Amino acid sequence: MIDALPVLLKGLWWTIVITVISLLIALVIGLVLGLFSISRNKLLRAIAMIYVDIIRGTPILVQILFIYFGLPAGTGITMSALTAGIIAISINAGAYLVEIFRAGINSIDKGQMEAGRTLGFSYAETMRLIILPQAVRRMIPAFVNQFIVSIKDTSLLSVIGIAELTMSGQSIYAMNFRAFEILALVGILYFVLIYALTLFSRWLERRLDVA
Residue pLDDT, tens place only, 129-170: 888 888 888 888 888 889 999 999 998 998 888 878 888 888
| Mean pLDDT of the 59-78 span | 91
Cα–Cα distance measured from residue 173 to residue 8, given in angstroms and rounded to the nearest whole number: 11
Query: Counting Cβ atoms within 10 Å, is residue 108 exposed (0-12), middle (13-18) or buried (19+)?
Result: middle
**Residue 211: its pLDDT value, please?**
47
pLDDT of residue 210 exceeding 70, the answer is no
Sign of the dihedral through C-alpha 68, 74, 79, 80: positive
CB 146 within 8 A of CB 93: yes
**Distance between CA 195 and CA 193 in Å, rounded?**
6
Q: Which residue has the higher pLDDT, 50 or 163?
A: 50
Question: Is 34:97 a contact under the CB 8 Å cutoff?
Answer: yes
Number of helical H runs and strand E runs in the chain: 10, 0
- What share of the chain in percent tops pLDDT 90? 50
The percent of residues in the chain predicted with pLDDT above 70, rounded, is 98
- DSSP assignment, residue 38? T
Residue 64 scores a pLDDT above 90: yes
Q: What is the DSSP string of 154-177?
A: GGGGGGGT--SHHHHHHHHHHHH-
Please, are residues 121 and 112 in contact by the beta-carbon 8 Å criterion? no
Pick 22 or 169 by higher pLDDT.
Answer: 22
Domains in the chain, CATH or no CATH each = 5-208 (1.10.3720.10)
Q: Which amino acid appears at position 105 of this protein?
A: I
Tell me what the mean pLDDT of segment 195-210 comes to. 80
pLDDT recorded at residue 121: 82
Let me know how long the chain is.
211
Q: Does residue 205 surpass a pLDDT of 80?
A: no
pLDDT at 39: 87
Say if residues 112 and 135 touch (Cβ distance below 8 Å).
no
